[in-house]
Chain A
Amino acid sequence: MTAIIGSLTANVDGRRLAGAHLIFNAVTAAVAIGFIYQLTGIVDVISGWMGIANDNYAMKLAVFHSIFNGLGIVLMLPMINPMVRFLQRVIKQRVRTAAEPRFLNSANISLPDTAIEAVRMETLRLFDNASEIIAEGLSLSLPEILSDRPLDEIVAHARKSVSFDIDERYDLNVKELYGKIVEFISNAQSTMSPSQVDELFALRAAGRDIVEAIKDTKHLQKNLSHYFTSDNEAIRQEYDHIRANLANALRQLDNVRQQDDDASTSLSLDSIKIGMKQHDRDLNARLSTLIRDHLITAPMSISLMNDSGYAYHVTKNLVKMGDVLFSNSESQLREAERSVSLDEAELEELLQKTKNPTSEHNDETK
């Protein structure tokens, strides 16, 4: 009975174990009751061998208990496989969809800090679902992107276009979950202080950034799936660059998520932004040459420019989301981190310096 009560909150394996425990005891008890007189005789014989006095009932009970358990093992050993099949059939694993919230429940809505953490965890799940969609939109697999393998190699090998309906996946795995997060936030904010409400709103905005990133991936996917399998090597290479850069953004974001408190989140996020800016800049520099040398057609160049823009926006939205979602430090420290993060103009200036490293040196020597 204790095991059954204990298993009420356990996972499916815990409940199956409690079921097995119940069957073991019930079957052994039924057989023991049926053969109670014979068992009493066996207890007396064994007690005699062990030198237990006839009136030492406590020790005799211990002997009976050992015999009971031994009998249970003998009875149940041949029945293990049928019992496993029976328990698996009766106690089924609850199928959870990706859109089903795991952390939002009415119990934590009245506790502001717990509610904020629940929303953060759920928004992280939203990001996980979105990452899979974005990776598939690039015709890549997310586990491979997050592995240690060089991204150029992964992109070069993934030459088969993955055809799937982004809208359908968005409706199934993201929209519903985001809707539940927004609903939870609306209900939770009434009991919160203004700074806690601000935190919730920032998390809601992070969710919106995730949704925007998926929308941009959808626009990108249309041309990308066509051009990265094209016979034209130049356009194929350009689209592979876009795929590798976006995959790199996903990998770096995952690194930011895993990093400890000693590392600066703003440094890692700015590094992702600068990488995407650099890619956009390099593409613009190459574009004229590609057209001039008739390596790509004018319509191809327009698609490429648009899609590079979409890729840039996907990264920008994901970085914005990461700024809110991946920082474990308290809000004041987070604010300080944000204050050192570079804005667009400062990033441009830094890129310029990287391009012409001598100019900075000259400036400093003047």
Chain B
Amino acid sequence: MKLSKLLEKTKALLDPKERKSKAQKKNLKHVIKKLRKQEKALLKSLENESSKDKAAKIQDQVNLAHAQRKKGLKVLKDLKKS
């Protein structure tokens, strides 16, 4: 590794702002992963649901999880940019 890159990495490690941003990204990724998992589980239960009313409710949940995940991805993108 070049010295300049090494210095950059050390600086990032010692900078509290950088550390905070890294932790934020890590937590956000965790939440997005959790939402994706829940969305998949909901879609699976939607396939097996025979009642129309219950299926509509599950579909609403899927839409909500999807919207939250999309928002999370947008926040993550902004964090990466800054």
Asked if A340 and B31 make an inter-chain contact with CB atoms under 8 angstroms apart, the answer reads: yes
Within 8 A of A (CB), among B12-64: 23-24, 27-28, 30-32, 34-35, 37-38, 60-61, 63-64
Task: Tally the A-B contacts, defined by beta carbons under 8 Å.
Answer: 66
CA distance A346 to B63 in the complex (A): 12
Within 8 A of B (CB), among A311-366: 332-333, 335-337, 339-342, 346, 350, 353-354
* Contact pick for A266, options B37, B61, B68, CB 8 Å: B68
Asked if A267 and B63 make an inter-chain contact with CB atoms under 8 angstroms apart, the answer reads: no
Interface mask (A148-179 → B, CB under 8 Å = 1, otherwise 0): 00000000000000000000000000000000
User: Quick one: given A263-B38, A274-B60, are A336 and B68 in contact (CB under 8 Å)?
Assistant: no
Asked if B61 and A271 make an inter-chain contact with CB atoms under 8 angstroms apart, the answer reads: yes
Asked if B72 and A339 make an inter-chain contact with CB atoms under 8 angstroms apart, the answer reads: yes
Asked if A267 and B68 make an inter-chain contact with CB atoms under 8 angstroms apart, the answer reads: yes
Residues of A within 8 A of B72 (CB): 339-340
Indicate if B9 sits at the interface (CB-CB under 8 A): no
* Contact pick for B35, options A264, A333, A335, A350, CB 8 Å: A264
Indicate if A270 sits at the interface (CB-CB under 8 A): yes
CA distance A263 to B67 in the complex (A): 16
CA distance A122 to B48 in the complex (A): 41
Shortest beta-carbon distance from B12 to chain A in Å = 18
CA distance A337 to B27 in the complex (A): 8
Asked if A340 and B32 make an inter-chain contact with CB atoms under 8 angstroms apart, the answer reads: yes
* Contact pick for A339, options B38, B60, B75, CB 8 Å: B75
Residues of B within 8 A of A333 (CB): 27, 30-31
Residues of B within 8 A of A231 (CB): none
CA distance A222 to B50 in the complex (A): 41
Residues of A within 8 A of B71 (CB): 339-340, 342, 346
User: Quick one: given A332-B23, A332-B24, are A337 and B63 in contact (CB under 8 Å)?
Assistant: no
